[in-house]
Amino acid sequence: MSSRRDRIRAKIMARVEIDPVTGCYNWTGPTSGNEGRGADYPRMSLDGQTVAVHKAMWTNEHGFIPGKKELDHVCRNRRCVRPDNENHVQMVTRKRNAMRREEARRARMSCEEILS
């Protein structure tokens, strides 16, 4: 008989496509929608509740996420749920996550200026 952890991992991985170029574990299931700050994050039903897939996967593989910590998509891909590689999802402080988000926004804007 498989453990609850194995069942959760299997349920998530059944909806994942691995990008051979980036190594991202891309969620192919439902997301939080197309608008707002929380747009495009993976969502799934787990034990009757809707949960963020990247958080469910992280918790399943690494344990509890403390209250003052957040998960940062280092790869900048919100649909990535890869928990086993620090180049994809990392647990960081809120401040660190906000700094990285701003750095990524500035870099994106600079690229857009160069291309226009």
Task: Give me the pLDDT at residue 37, please.
Answer: 74
The structure's pTM equals 0.85
pLDDT interval class at 3 (50, 70, 90): very high
From residue 104, give the alpha-carbon distance in Å to each of 74, 75, 79, 82, 86.
Answer: 10, 10, 16, 19, 17
Q: Please report which confidence band the pLDDT of residue 113 belongs to, taking 50, 70 and 90 as the band edges.
A: low
pLDDT tens track for 68-88 = 999 999 999 999 999 998 899
Looking at every residue in the chain, the average pLDDT score rounds to 90
- 93 CB-near residues (< 8 Å, 6+ apart): 68, 69, 70
